[in-house]
Amino acid sequence: MAAKQLSKVKLAVVSGYEPFGDYKGNPSARIATRLDNGLIEGIRVKGVVLPNVYDSHERLMDSVEKGRRENRLSKEELIVVVSGGLSSSIKGVSLEAVGYNEIDSKYADANGILVNDKRPVVPGAVGAYRTNADLVAVLLDLGKAGVPAKMSGDPGRFTCNSMAFGMWHLIAESKERILFAFYHTGLHTGDIQGELPPSKIFHPPEWLEKGVPVMVRTLARQAETMAGDADWSYPIPMDTSQVQTLYYKK
């Protein structure tokens, strides 16, 4: 009976970022706030809004562990984490399949620190991690819900990439049963000052309002399927030359 209970996802952590650069808002923060303390098919949701800093993965993992304690979950119990960020030039939802151990950005983070020298997110760690989630299944479910979506193999080298790589690294090292996915989304009306540049489009809020719960449900089913010790798969370490051979493209 205890093993059966451990195979059900009871907690999902949904995170977003505060606005950065010249942006006035961030859709990923609004959906995290909207879903906080709610339920998605019986799964308790903890919404977290984080500053755009290079160690945001450590802050998110702290929030995951806090959620575990608040819900009295053991280390063996399954948790789904969906984290999002803003990429103003994309349309729909972009699911990131790979995170890189490299920081090289054009923006300073929320602490005013600009890193553009390709230093590692985690010194001494592997060059990249590939997700252990089945993103094709997530894409299919998003499509059924009417949410435009694609898969990407390059999340940039700013805080979003640091989040993706850092979380997969922490999960791989800790061997906790956490299934993590990172997405990018575009602008909503009011997120930008002045006129919208021709290369950018506004997204209807409904895409995220429908899309993030779909991601949580699909990942929860995957986690429950992988719940047995023999079946669970952790994030896949890679070197950057291996990544170039994958079919994922930005």
Examine residue 250 and state whether it is found in any structural domain, yes or no.
Answer: no
Check pLDDT > 80 for residue 156. yes
The CATH code of the domain that includes 167 is 3.40.630.20
pLDDT tens per residue, range 203-222: 778 898 999 999 999 999 99
Examine residue 28 and state whether it is found in any structural domain, yes or no.
Answer: yes
Handedness of CA 238, 242, 248, 250 (dihedral sign): positive
Examine residue 249 and state whether it is found in any structural domain, yes or no.
Answer: no
Angstrom distance (rounded) from CA 138 to CA 223: 13
List, in order, residues 6 or more apart from 145 with CB less than 8 Å away.
Answer: 210, 211, 214
Angstrom distance (rounded) from CA 229 to CA 210: 32
Examine residue 42 and state whether it is found in any structural domain, yes or no.
Answer: yes
What total number of domains does the chain contain? 1
Tokens for 154, please give them. Answer: 């390059």
pLDDT tens per residue, range 6-53: 578 999 999 999 987 777 778 999 999 999 999 999 999 999 999 999
Q: Average pLDDT over the chain, rounded to whole? A: 86
Examine residue 90 and state whether it is found in any structural domain, yes or no.
Answer: yes
In the chain, the N- to C-terminal Cα span, in Å, equals 44
Domain extent for 167: 2-244
Check pLDDT > 60 for residue 3. no
Examine residue 45 and state whether it is found in any structural domain, yes or no.
Answer: yes
pLDDT tens per residue, range 70-84: 999 998 889 999 999
Check pLDDT > 60 for residue 245. no
Examine residue 229 and state whether it is found in any structural domain, yes or no.
Answer: yes
